Amino acid sequence: MADNPGLTSVVIVAADSGADLGVCVERVLASTAAVEVIVSDNDSRDGSIESLAACWQGDARLRILRNGRNLGFGAGCNRGAAQARGDALLFLNPDCRIEADSIARLHGCMAMDIGLLGAAILAADGTPEPASRRRDPFLRRSVMSMSGLARFARRWPALAGVDIAPDGSAVQTVDAVSGATMLLTRAVFAAVGGFDEGYFLHGEDLDLCRRVRDAGWRVACANAVRIVHAKGTSSRARPFFVAYHKHRGMWRWFRKFDPAARNPLLRALVFCGLCAHYALLTPRYAWVWLRKFSRSR
């Protein structure tokens, strides 16, 4: 049982998150809702954790959990949730920018049958992020999205891809929401066993949404609650690392949930396709890394 009913425990996993982390925590602590912040630190070495501790020393609403090594996103979330005192959990990326009323508004959108609630995520330039509302990324849907055939889904529903457009409702039922902002009760989180730590980075949000739905709850997006996702410092600094784990996460989700994975031929094709996709993007990742390296000299 939660120590403090009505309290939202905001869990932020940090990994060399830079100045984004301090801005995120500052905005959360300015919330109109009752909050505590648990920063689950995956061995940051950029000084961001020390800066955060110095800025908010003496504020009992902030706790920093030092994991000692990079456990991965899901494991970091689970460690933070284990220390939570609130009856609600909000998993928030350190590069998200919430408003003072964002958490209260999310709570206002919750209903008894909603097990997990996300928000309308925007890029820094205001562009909506498709990850805010998604269908399960089954092989067929992924092919439709990647091939561009999904644009004809309004006329031919069988061509539907992964992304879901907002339907104009305040709270829209979806298969999955963005892991950048996810609200659920501690009871639901415990009932489904938290995040699957078999993922390291990427895919664990899709996995959690799927298991919440399989347990009988609804996953939904609060379309009216908009949160800016600035895209993280740590992701830009380690493009190869992030891309590898993104593809690895996609492979794990496919094996766990997609019926197509039961076909040995399709399973082999998907594995080869993911490897080829990563290899084709390697020059791009190398360019990103070289640009960062040249600027740091």
Report pLDDT for 288: 61
Length of the chain measured in residues: 297
Residues 245, 185 share a domain: no
Report pLDDT for 295: 60
Residues 180, 149 share a domain: yes
Q: Identify the CATH number of the domain in which residue 139 sits.
A: 3.90.550.10
Residues 273, 212 share a domain: no
What is the C-alpha separation between 45 and 50, in angstroms, rounded? 9
pTM of the model: 0.91
- Domain stops at, among 229, 264, 288: 229
- Cα angle 128-132-133, degrees, rounded to a multiple of 5: 115
In order along its 297 residues, the chain shows pLDDT tens digits of 456 889 999 999 999 999 999 999 999 999 999 999 999 999 999 999 999 999 999 899 999 999 999 999 999 999 999 999 999 999 999 999 999 999 999 999 998 899 999 999 999 899 999 999 999 999 999 999 999 999 999 999 999 999 999 999 999 999 999 999 999 999 999 999 999 999 998 999 999 999 999 999 999 999 999 999 987 555 556 777 788 888 999 999 999 999 999 999 999 999 999 888 888 877 766 666 566 656 655
Residues 266, 203 share a domain: no
The full DSSP string for 46-89 is SSHHHHHHHHTTT-TTEEEEE-SS---HHHHHHHHHHT--EEEE
Among 175, 169, 181, 162, residue whose Cα is nearest residue 122: 181
DSSP state, residue 13: E
Residues 243, 217 share a domain: no
Q: Which domain holds residue 199?
A: 4-229
What is the C-alpha separation between 145 and 5, in angstroms, rounded? 42
Report pLDDT for 231: 74
Residues 40, 171 share a domain: yes
Helix H segments across the chain? 19-29, 48-55, 73-82, 102-109, 139-147, 186-191, 204-214, 233-237, 239-257, 264-296
Report pLDDT for 185: 96
State the sign of the Cα–Cα–Cα–Cα dihedral 245, 18, 71, 64. negative
**Domain total for the chain?**
2
- Phi, psi for 215 (deg, rounded to 5): -85, 0
Residues 217, 85 share a domain: yes
Residues 208, 189 share a domain: yes
Report pLDDT for 239: 72
**Residues with Cβ < 8 Å from 257, sequence gap 6 or more?**
136, 138, 207, 210
Exposed, middle or buried, 165 (CB in 10 Å: 0-12/13-18/19+)?
A: exposed
- Domain stops at, among 178, 204, 229: 229
Residues 200, 132 share a domain: yes
What is the C-alpha separation between 128 and 100, in angstroms, rounded? 20
Q: Which one-letter amino acid corresponds to residue 255? A: R
